[in-house]
Amino acid sequence: MQTILSIAADSLAYGMVLFVISIGLSVTMGLMKVVNLAHGAFAMIGGYVASYATQQMGLPFGIAVIAAIVCTVLVAIPLERLLYRRIYGAPELTQVLMSIGITFAIIGIANFVMGPTLKTIALPEQLQGPVDLGFRSIAAHKLFAVAVGIVVAGGLWLLVERTPFGVRLRAAVDDAAMAEALGVKTKAVYAISFALAIGLAALGGVVGAQLLPIEPYYALHYMVTFLVVVSVGGAGSIAGALAASLILGLVQTTARYLAPEYGEFFFYLAVIAIVCTFPNGLLGRSK
Amino acid sequence: MSDMPVNSVTTRSWQRTALGDFWAVAAVALVAGALFLLFPTNLALLTRIIAVMLLVLSLDLVTGFSGVATLGHATLFGAGAYAAGIFAARFGVTDPLLMLAIGAVAGALAGAVTSLVILRGHGLSQLVLSIAVVSLAHEAANKLSAWTGGSDGLSGIAPSPLFGLFRFDLFGRTAFFMAVGLLLVVFVVLRIVVRSPFGMLCRGIKQDPVRVRAMGAPVYFTLVKMYAIAGAVAGLGGALSAIATKVVGLDSLSFTTSAEALVMLVVGGTGKLFGALVGTLVFVWFEDRVSAINPFHWLTIIGVLLIGVVLFAPKGLVGAAESLWARVRGRRS
């Protein structure tokens, strides 16, 4: 019983971190049809900025989070203008290669600027200690990650389903040409969504830094994980990404508790099973 | 060259393709000979390049010619390498040609089996399935360390002399010549496969699977067959690397190797057999040189190069050279 509750608590935290990072990727993939393997690299940049802000500059955690999001978006905007815009609508393979290229370049530059060592983010006191849940105590930063995940999921749902911007966004997803004809500025919608997606990646990188430590190869290590989450959940679906994150987080954490010597074997077995059964993802639309 | 006059191929065009094959083989052999004379101390690297070339050629068959997007192609390479290595180290099958054959069979089997999974997806889900397949194989090889040596690598491979005559020497001369011979044979066979009706069918599937199906050709089965052929080629590459280096590591079965193979193919040019060769040679050679200085600089350079190729030379180095050549000729005439 103790083990089951521990697994449940840890997988919830891990799954929520996966969700916060992957949902941005899901948005770009569902909306702009771009397979952006560099998404993890943006999460990594966010982590680096937060680390630098808290450790070197001594800024408080809250400001560091905001700085991380702003800086990462500022890095991403010229990339979107110069590079991503040329591969909208290109075949998947082209997009994969371009974004792998961007990832490699970011890894190399990150190592050059920040060095190859692990970087930590100084947490405020409230997030450092353990919190007693009754059956066990859990690290406060994990609870914080869960809370952030819930807020992000709720906020995105409100944004997409209940605001005028959400209406335009859904229209652009369904039929970009028609939406354009009806006066929706699809380019602006794309730009805002892209910035939103990158901002969420940065947020996820900071919040998840305790579970997915920040180092130059972060972008490569977790590239696959984020891509898998989106594919399992179905590109463009918030609920799908949430379900996929929680399921895959559960599989991964359970396997780590019960059969650590198998590594990620069961994780990928689950991925194959789910993707073969639901080729468009759990809640994705059929093409 | 056994280019049978299958359709309405006249003797004339038969001669032309045979001549084309001859010049292609001569070009590859010439480059191999030149590299052998120029870099006699780097034969191990050159042999490794040829092993990787076989992997990239194999990837070209499924990605460049048949349009299957995969980031897990090292599965087939690793299957060949581990099969040849395990048979040599555990069962005493040390004849190099037999090891190559075992590698080819294992690669073909792995290709046929994994294609059943990978071909179920399209676009993104296909990519994710291929990644999942290679990661699964990687974890399995890691777990079955009694057979594969796990993360320490599989050692104890001692190939016997080639044809019973040529020992695998310290300088890697025998391995190099065997590799070049193997590459030439595979290259010619693949040229024939690619222009055969079967190869044309695969190109048709790449362009429009729905139409090919409407014409009555079996899309899924054709791709499985192509995957098996590609598996045999990649398996040969794996077996070659097992023979030449005498160890098999887990990295021969990794996502990173798969992604690198795709990068090499794209840098060289997809859908062209020469593209696979040129891309591999350029990539591995520069990787060896630059990463000796600093592996991270290498990552930056290859990243920028990749972006440049996607934006400015979508047909790869070979494609860019071809259009440059066509321009020069157009100006002259």
Measure the N-to-C terminal CA separation of chain B; round to a whole number of Å.
Answer: 33
B139, A98: Cβ pair inside 8 Å? Answer: no
Count CB neighbours of A239 within 10 A.
13
For residues B47 and B176, give the distance between their C-alpha atoms in angstroms, rounded to a whole number. 5
Domain ranges for chain B: 11-253
Nearest to B124 among A35, A265, A276 (CB): A35
Question: d(Cα A28, Cα B289) in Å, to the nearest integer?
Answer: 37
Q: Is some CB atom of chain A closer than 8 A to the CB atom of B143?
A: yes
Beta carbons within 8 Å of A19's beta carbon, 6+ residues apart: A149, A152, A153, A229, A241, A242, A245, A246
Q: Which residues of B touch A230 (CB under 8 A)?
A: 124
Q: For residues A68 and B117, what is the distance between their CA atoms, to the nearest angstrom?
A: 40
**Other beta carbons within 10 Å of B262:** 26
Cβ–Cβ gap B128/A271 under 8 Å? yes
Hey, are the CB atoms on B307 and A92 less than 8 Å from each other? no
Residues on chain A touching B210 (C-beta within 8 angstroms): none
Chain A residues touching B270 at Cβ < 8 A: 93
How deeply is A70 buried, as exposed, middle or buried, from its count of CB atoms within 10 A (0-12, 13-18, 19+)? Answer: middle
Residue B74 near chain A (CB below 8 Å):
no
Q: How far is residue A152 from each of residues A68, A242, A259, measured CA to CA in Å?
A: 16, 10, 32
CB neighbour class for A207 (10 Å; exposed up to 12, middle 13-18, buried from 19): buried
Please give, one letter per residue, the 3-state secondary structure of A91-127. CHHHHHHHHHHHHHHHHHHHHHHHCCCCECCCCCHHH
Beta bridge partners of A137: A132
- Report CA-CA distances (Å) from B265 to A163, B53, B261, B268: 45, 9, 6, 5
Q: What CATH number belongs to A2-123+136-277?
A: 1.10.3470
Calpha distance B216→B219 (Å, rounded): 9
* Amino acid A152: pLDDT: 92
DSSP H helical ranges for chain B: 11-38, 43-59, 74-91, 96-118, 124-143, 145-148, 173-195, 197-207, 209-214, 219-245, 255-268, 273-293, 295-312, 316-332
List Cβ neighbours of A210 (8 Å cut-off, separation of 6 or more). A123, A139, A141, A142
Q: How far is B329 from chain A (nearest CA, A)?
A: 30
Contact of B304 with chain A, judged by CB distance below 8 Å, is answered with yes
DSSP letter assigned to residue A138 = E
Q: Model ipTM?
A: 0.84
Output b/e per residue, A27-44; b: 16+ Cβ within 10 A.
bbbbbbbbbbbbbbbbbb
| A269 chain-B contacts, CB cut-off 8 A | 136
Q: Are the C-beta atoms of residues B107 and B234 closer than 8 Å to each other?
A: yes
Beta strand pairing call for A137-139 and A130-132: antiparallel
A217 touches chain B (CB under 8 A): no
Min distance A249 CA to chain B CA atoms (Å): 16
Q: What tens digit of pLDDT does each residue of A25-65 get?
A: 888 888 778 888 889 999 999 999 999 998 888 888 889 99
Residues 6+ apart with CB under 8 A from B198: B222, B225, B226
Q: How many CB atoms lie within 10 A of CB B180?
A: 20
Q: Is B299 on the interface with A (CB under 8 A)?
A: yes
Half-sphere exposure of A113 (CA within 13 A, CB side): 12
- Which residues on B lie below 8 Å from A109 (Cβ)? 300
Q: Which of B232, B322, B234 is nearest to B272 (CA)?
A: B322
| Contact status, residue B150 vs residue A118, Cβ threshold 8 Å | no
pTM for the full model?
0.87
Name the residue in chain B with its Cα closest to that of A29: B124
Q: What are phi and psi of A208, to 5 degrees?
A: -90, 5
Question: By the CB < 8 Å criterion, does B69 face chain A?
Answer: yes
Point out which residues pair with A131 in neighbouring strands.
Answer: A138
pLDDT digits (tens), chain A, 287 positions: 778 888 888 888 889 989 988 988 888 888 778 888 889 999 999 999 999 998 888 888 889 999 999 999 999 888 888 888 888 778 888 888 888 899 989 988 988 888 888 888 888 877 777 877 776 777 888 888 899 999 999 999 899 888 999 888 888 878 888 888 998 888 888 888 889 999 999 999 998 888 888 888 888 888 888 888 988 888 878 888 999 999 999 998 898 888 888 878 888 899 899 888 888 878 776 55
Q: According to the model, what pLDDT value does residue A66 have?
A: 93
C-alpha B268, offset from chain centre = 12
The answer, for A159 touching chain B at a CB cutoff of 8 Å, is no
- Residue by residue, pLDDT tens for chain B (333 residues) are 444 445 545 566 777 778 888 888 888 888 888 888 888 788 888 888 999 999 999 999 999 898 888 888 999 999 999 999 888 888 877 888 888 999 999 999 999 999 998 988 887 888 889 999 998 999 888 888 777 777 777 777 777 777 767 777 766 788 888 899 999 999 999 999 988 999 999 998 888 888 988 888 888 899 999 999 999 999 999 999 988 888 888 888 888 899 889 989 988 888 888 889 999 998 888 888 887 887 778 888 888 888 888 888 888 888 888 888 888 887 766
Q: Which residues, 6+ apart, have CB-to-CB distance to B19 below 8 Å?
A: none
Chain B CB contacts of A103 under 8 Å are: 303
The three-class DSSP label of residue B142 is helix
In A137-153, which positions are buried (b, 16+ CB within 10 angstroms) versus exposed (e)? ebbbbbbbbbebbeebb
Chain A residues close to B132, C-beta within 8 Å: 228, 268, 271-272, 275
A10's tokens: 């840890």
